[in-house]
Amino acid sequence: MACEEKCFTFIWKLENVSYCVEGKDEAIYSPEFVVDSINETKWFLGLYPRGEEDGNYIGFFLFRGPDSKGAVPKKMKFEFAFINNNGSVLTSRKAAINDFLESEGHGFPDLAEREEVFNTKRSAFLPQDILTARCRIWKSDGEMAEDVRCFARTRIGVQRISFFWNVKNFSTLESGEKYTYQMKSVAHDKQSISANLSLTEGLGSEKSIRFELIHQDQAIKFSTLQLSLVDASRNRVNCNRDEFWFQDPSKSKELKFCFTKNKLMEMKNSYLPDDILSLHWEWAFSKGVVSNEIENFQYSYTGSDFNASNAQNMNNQKMMPISYSLNDNLKSLYDENFLCDVKLKTSTSIFPAHKIILSASSSVFKAMFSNDMKENGSNCVDIEDLSDDTINRMLLFMYTTRVEDLTWERASHLYAASDKYAILSLKDICSSYLKDNLSPSKACEVLLLSDSHADSDLKCAVQDYILKHGKQINSDEWKLLMETNAKLAAETVCLQFK
């Protein structure tokens, strides 16, 4: 819906917003912009991702630049909003300000609840971890000469590192002993974080597994961690997910593993093959703002408020895909088995491939071929839990970035495969397909899938769908869900009372 009066609209995309290093009462700022219709005054936006006053809310403010040329009208009208990919307003507030002074800011410290934006409604607010904020400005003493739209983008840099840590002779580890893993920074070839594994006595004979995380790179301020156990079938079992602030380099952080030593020993055939505890670590380190710029101005704008075409154009900027000619050349190497140096082996077939291509697409394959693992020595990866069709389509994507003839069943299988091997872009494509093709007969199936893969974004989308279409959900599927995962079913039902 277009503005009733001509206005200036500033649309600001914040990429990787989950990795903002700003704490409470700290703002991340947009590029400055000039509003010609208001005496060429200069402005910028400020977003408080962890609250300006209350850490439970996200604050959004408009600031007048310190070196604005002209005077500001006595009264101005504003609207602050968060919008989704197609321009629909998710939350908005309006304000009228008198005497907007230089370097002064006005807005709302509680524009949206942080829990909603980053968790319960993440799929709506943060598709691909991008928050889209909008500010509209009107003159109160006469209409603006034309509608103007300004598009800006701020990108927070994220460095992701994953590796396997194999703790040998785990059963012999006793309280007081420890194993240490040193993680180096790829950029500086220096130690960045050390992880010390040790046991502590718990209740009864239980022995808790703890990790002491020692921060050695002062450039790191904020990071997230996904820690998984790799079982005997090479499947990852998601264990711990946490975030850490390293504001004081002299202080270490502690992480308690979700399994005790006793529990692992009870399931040693599955979790401790050859008495080895295999852990997969996925770290993401925030580098702060790495780019902050105006991308586009549109003058005398007419038409819809923010249509899907504009959204797609914004999303496509600076994310150009590899050319099809290069992709086709890579695929020809695969089709011809030219210089292949690894084989993916299922129960019925063998798929020759290239380690460098697999490593470029998957952090799991990269870690597998970079560490002292049997796959690196034998040049063969056993994958008996995936079908030939799924392996073939996964490889097609890794060589060409294309997904062909996607169906519900194929998307479900590819989703599980891409999560297992951390092929994030393929996982996003499959997740989007599942969201777009939800139906009453499939909702429970996808809910179980999202929960088993700890995918909060997909899980929230499915739970929203189930709450909206409760009477249409297949009763047999829902009964099966209650029998197999009563906790998940109860969690979903309880959401309607929030």
pLDDT digits (tens, 9 = 90+) for 407-430: 889 999 999 999 999 898 899 889
Amino acid making up residue 15: E
pLDDT(317) > 50: no
Of residues 133 and 36, the one with the higher pLDDT is 133
Q: Which one, of 56, 72, 79, 128, lies nearest residue 429 by Cα?
A: 128
Contacts for 125 with CB less than 8 Å, ≥ 6 apart: 82, 84, 90, 112, 116, 117, 118, 131
Dihedral angle over CA of 401, 405, 406, 408, nearest 10: -170
Amino acid making up residue 479: K
User: What b-and-e string marks burial along 156-175, b requiring 16 or more CB atoms within 10 Å of the CB?
Assistant: bebbebbbbbebeebeebee
pLDDT value of position 3: 44
DSSP type of residue 323: P
pLDDT value of position 461: 85
Dist. CA 474–CA 481, nearest whole Å: 11
Do 21 and 160 meet the contact criterion of CB atoms below 8 Å apart? no
Q: CATH topology of 8-146 equal to that of 325-425?
A: no
pLDDT(102) > 80: no
Which pairing describes strands 8-15 and 130-139: parallel, antiparallel, or unpaired? Answer: antiparallel
**CATH code at 159-185+192-288:** 2.60.210.10
Question: What is the fold, at CATH topology level, of the domain defined by 325-425?
Answer: Potassium Channel Kv1.1; Chain A (3.30.710)
Residue-range domain boundaries for the chain: 8-146, 159-185+192-288, 325-425, 438-497
Stretch among 8-12, 355-359, 375-379, 457-461 having the lowest mean pLDDT: 375-379
DSSP type of residue 123: H
Q: Which helix (H) or strand (E) holds 315?
A: helix 308-316
E-state strands within 114-235: 130-139, 148-167, 178-184, 191-201, 207-215, 222-230
CATH of 438-497 given 3.10.20.30, 3.40.190.290, 1.25.40.420, 2.102.10.10: 1.25.40.420
Q: Which one, of 375, 353, 377, lies nearest residue 364 by Cα?
A: 375
Do 45 and 183 meet the contact criterion of CB atoms below 8 Å apart? no
- For the residues 167-195, what does the mean pLDDT come to? 78
pLDDT value of position 456: 81
Highest-confidence segment of 203-212, 294-303, 311-320, 347-356:
347-356
Q: How confident is the model at residue 323 (pLDDT cuts 50, 70, 90)?
A: very low
Q: How confident is the model at residue 135 (pLDDT cuts 50, 70, 90)?
A: very high
pLDDT(232) > 70: yes
What count of other Cβ atoms lies within 10 Å of the Cβ of residue 114? 18
Q: Which one, of 415, 452, 453, 418, lies nearest residue 437 by Cα?
A: 415
- For the residues 88-105, what does the mean pLDDT come to? 82
Do 295 and 151 meet the contact criterion of CB atoms below 8 Å apart? yes
Question: What is the fold, at CATH topology level, of the domain defined by 8-146?
Answer: 2.60.210
Of residues 414 and 370, the one with the higher pLDDT is 414
- For the residues 437-463, what does the mean pLDDT come to? 85
**Predicted confidence (pLDDT) per residue in 17-60, tens digit:** 999 988 889 999 999 998 888 888 888 999 999 998 898 999 99
* Torsion over CA: 303, 308, 314, 317 (sign): negative
Q: How confident is the model at residue 304 (pLDDT cuts 50, 70, 90)?
A: very low
Dist. CA 381–CA 424, nearest whole Å: 20
pLDDT value of position 327: 55
| pLDDT cut 90: percent of the chain above it | 27
Q: Which one, of 127, 9, 91, 90, lies nearest residue 429 by Cα?
A: 127
pLDDT value of position 372: 61
Dist. CA 131–CA 14, nearest whole Å: 5
pLDDT(384) > 90: no
pTM: 0.59
**Predicted confidence (pLDDT) per residue in 248-294, tens digit:** 666 788 999 999 999 999 999 999 999 999 999 888 888 888 889 99
**Mean model confidence pLDDT for the chain:** 82
pLDDT(69) > 80: no
pLDDT value of position 498: 59
Do 183 and 193 meet the contact criterion of CB atoms below 8 Å apart? yes
3-state secondary structure of 26: coil
Q: How confident is the model at residue 375 (pLDDT cuts 50, 70, 90)?
A: low
pLDDT value of position 417: 93
pLDDT(311) > 70: no
